[in-house]
Copies of this chain bind each other. A is one copy, B any other.
Amino acid sequence: MARWQPDAPGRLAAAALDLFEEHGYENTTVIEIAERAGLTKSTFFRYFPDKREVLFGRGTLTDLLVEGIASAPPAAGPLDAVADALDALGRTFFTADRREFSGRRQAVLNANTELREREALKRTGLTASMIEALSRRGVPSLTARVAAELGALVWEIAYDQWIDPDNSEGFGPLARQALAEVRTAAAVR
């Protein structure tokens, strides 16, 4: 028998999400989270650099996105490369079994400014990664920046729809459709 229960960070994340739903982010103490997971404050901060990060940690997500952009066909334009990457994400990360969790998580995020702040930073980090990945494809700097911003917007739109319980479409198709719409909207002057 294992000396300790397995997957301490996972238990902490689950406990945190539960408690944030029950009492709100601000009314939940790190000690309470740790206790519910059968651990202590010390262990919490060993796995997460701060209280917010317990809701964000899951992410090799940036790597997946960058990889997706890099492996798009060489002839593809910048936005198409981003589309391919989003598609890949839909296949490997935003899978149906994560939908419910993502929805709960997002509801908690939306309810708290501190958490939205962290989310905003993650978004800029993601955008920066996209810009870099596009640059490596030879896309000129400014074009890359524009494509990355539009890509982030597409992401947002698709993610919001994907989370919606009334919707059953996969993330990939939603992103494709959102991208098409953003494209036409960007053509309007």
Most buried by B among A78, A80, A120, A181: A120
Range for the number of chain A residues in contact with chain B? 20 to 34
Q: Mark A139-173, 1 if CB is under 8 A from B, else 0.
A: 01011011001101100010000000000000000
* Residue A183 lies at the interface, judged by CB distance under 8 Å to chain B: yes
B142 touches A185 (CB 8 A): yes
* Residue A116 lies at the interface, judged by CB distance under 8 Å to chain B: yes
* Residue A186 lies at the interface, judged by CB distance under 8 Å to chain B: yes
* Residue A124 lies at the interface, judged by CB distance under 8 Å to chain B: yes
* Residue A117 lies at the interface, judged by CB distance under 8 Å to chain B: yes
Which listed residue (B116, B149, B181) contacts A121, Cβ 8 A?
Answer: B116
Most buried by B among A116, A140, A181, A189: A189
* Residue A105 lies at the interface, judged by CB distance under 8 Å to chain B: no
B116 touches A189 (CB 8 A): no
Contacts of A181 in B (CB 8 A): 142
Which listed residue (B78, B120, B146) contacts A182, Cβ 8 A?
Answer: B146
A77 touches B188 (CB 8 A): yes
Contacts of A150 in B (CB 8 A): 146, 149, 186
* Residue A91 lies at the interface, judged by CB distance under 8 Å to chain B: no
Q: Mark A106-149, 1 if CB is under 8 A from B, else 0.
A: 00000001001110110110000000000000001011011001
Q: Residues of A with Cβ closer than 8 Å to B?
A: 77-80, 113, 116-118, 120-121, 123-124, 140, 142-143, 145-146, 149-150, 152-153, 157, 181-183, 185-189
24 inter-chain pairs at a CB distance below 8 angstroms, sorted by A residue, are: A77-B188, A78-B188, A79-B189, A116-B121, A116-B124, A117-B117, A117-B118, A120-B120, A120-B121, A121-B121, A123-B124, A140-B185, A142-B181, A142-B182, A142-B185, A143-B185, A145-B153, A145-B185, A146-B150, A146-B185, A146-B186, A149-B150, A149-B153, A187-B187
